[in-house]
Chain A
Amino acid sequence: MITAERKPLEEIIEYVRPFGKILLVGCNECVTVCSAGGRKEVGLLSSALQMAFMKEGKMLEIKEMTLERQCDPEYVEELSGHINQVDAVLSMACGCGVQEIAQRYREKPVFPAVNTKFMGASERQGVWSERCQGCGNCLLGLTGGICPVARCSKRLLNGPCGGSTKGKCEINPEIDCAWQLIWDRLKALGQEERYSDIIPAKDWRPSRDGGPRKIIREDLAS
């Protein structure tokens, strides 16, 4: 999933300060699962913002909505009946959702209420960690199912570096060394010989370095 974290309230307050009435929009997908921008978080933020302004003797009117998927024009359309009644939109979706609103409602300011973080998995209740950087040419088949691009701090394709210590990364003893994980997994699979192959310099074009990416499925495209 795409993970996110609420921005500091101070920053959000400054975004919405000039407005009297806003639409606060959550999303039912990833940000709900990672408890950053689902219906619950929309309610909490709305309450917190209202109190923050009430404290200053000011009323901020907030209309709360949570869309099925904020990165999908079909659902973003649902805002059309409300958009004219508000001065601005505050979105709790990932960056994709915020931009979808910006694109659909050109004349309405939209602000992000969360910081979009990474594509990751849930380690346990309340803990998420990065797993994939969407490099566009997946190497997991060569590395025992563990991603060196996203999980090695130096994205070394032929690690580990000399800083790997007791299974942990040199930058932080809280972070597993991806290459220790890869090696352990190759051993568990009986594929140790894989390690001897040098993974050649990566073609980063399918990644962000090739410019903004797009997928077109001719069979589906309308």
Chain B
Amino acid sequence: MDTFEPIIVAFCCHYCAYTAADMAGSMRLHYPPNVKIVRVPCSGKVDAIHIMKAFEKGADGVYVAGCLEGDCHFKNGNVKASRRVKYIKELLDEIGIGGERVEMVTMSAGMGPQFAKTAIEMTEKIRKLGPNPVKDMAAKRRRAVGQG
């Protein structure tokens, strides 16, 4: 499994993690290209279904990155997001995909190095877990739909 390169979707809040990612870039901090960033206006905007769809389409890991506690631009979007992540963890456990594939993290806009560190850690963790068990089927399904 040493050729396995996980695909990780990071839903990043515009006010913190997304800016932190920018900063990491300008600081020339290296972080793995496995992490695909999706910018969201607030981590609270990330719905459970978005996370599920990411896995359904073959992502190996997902994380939601929101502001530090108490710093949410919209009061408590980050708290809501972390509750949703917890719910999805249970759902993934129930269907045997594994709840540990999804995480909630928090950081501030100024934490460029933290962003890079999180991306590295998450990539390593998922690499160890191996591919999302529905990955192959997801690819097949995509092809089938493409042909149809």
Q: A residues bordering B, Cβ < 8 Å?
A: 8-10, 40, 43-44, 47-52, 54-55, 57, 59
Contacts of B1 in A (CB 8 A): none
A57 engages B91 (CB within 8 Å):
no
Beta-carbon nearest neighbor of B96 in chain A:
A55
Beta-carbon nearest neighbor of A126 in chain B:
B83
B114-148 contacts to A (CB < 8 Å): 133-134, 137-138, 141
Q: A129 to B91, alpha carbons, bound, how many Å?
A: 24
A45 CB → nearest B CB, Å:
9
B138 engages A54 (CB within 8 Å):
yes
B75 CB → nearest A CB, Å:
14
With A40-B49, A44-B52, A47-B56 as contacts: A54 and B91 at CB distance below 8 Å: no
Q: Is the interface of B mostly helix, strand, loop or mixed?
A: helix
Contacts of A55 in B (CB 8 A): 95-97, 133-134, 137
A56 CB → nearest B CB, Å:
9
Contacts of A44 in B (CB 8 A): 48-49, 52, 91
Q: A51 to B94, alpha carbons, bound, how many Å?
A: 11
Q: A48 to B134, alpha carbons, bound, how many Å?
A: 11
B49 engages A51 (CB within 8 Å):
no
Point out which of B47, B55, B95, B137 has the most chain A C-beta atoms below 10 A from its C-beta.
B95
A10 engages B94 (CB within 8 Å):
yes
A196 CB → nearest B CB, Å:
48
B87-101 contacts to A (CB < 8 Å): 91, 94-97
Point out which of A51, A57, A59 has the most chain B C-beta atoms below 10 A from its C-beta.
A51
Q: A55 to B23, alpha carbons, bound, how many Å?
A: 38
Interface string of B35-63 (1 = CB under 8 A from A): 00000000000011100110110000000
Q: A166 to B5, alpha carbons, bound, how many Å?
A: 59
Contacts of A10 in B (CB 8 A): 94
Q: A47 to B50, alpha carbons, bound, how many Å?
A: 10
Q: Tell me which of A40, A43, A52, A57 contacts B95 (CB under 8 A).
A: A52
Q: Tell me which of A8, A43, A54 contacts B49 (CB under 8 A).
A: A43
> Would you give 29 A-B contacts (Cβ < 8 Å), ordered by A?
A9-B91, A40-B47, A40-B48, A43-B49, A43-B52, A44-B52, A44-B91, A47-B52, A47-B53, A48-B52, A48-B91, A48-B95, A49-B95, A50-B56, A51-B52, A51-B56, A51-B97, A51-B134, A52-B95, A54-B56, A54-B133, A54-B134, A54-B138, A54-B141, A55-B95, A55-B96, A55-B97, A55-B133, A57-B137
B96 engages A52 (CB within 8 Å):
yes
Q: A49-B95, A54-B138, A55-B96 are in contact. List 15 more A-B contacts (CB 8 A).
A: A8-B94, A9-B91, A9-B95, A43-B49, A44-B48, A44-B52, A47-B53, A47-B55, A48-B52, A48-B94, A50-B56, A51-B56, A51-B97, A54-B141, A55-B133
A55 CB → nearest B CB, Å:
5
Question: Which 9 interchain pairs have the tightest Cβ spacing?
Answer: A54-B137, A54-B134, A47-B52, A52-B95, A9-B94, A55-B133, A43-B49, A51-B134, A47-B56
B77 CB → nearest A CB, Å:
14
Contacts of A48 in B (CB 8 A): 52, 91, 94-95
A170 CB → nearest B CB, Å:
32
Beta-carbon nearest neighbor of A43 in chain B:
B49
Q: A55 to B58, alpha carbons, bound, how many Å?
A: 11
Contacts of B94 in A (CB 8 A): 8-10, 48
Contacts of A51 in B (CB 8 A): 52, 55-56, 95, 97, 134
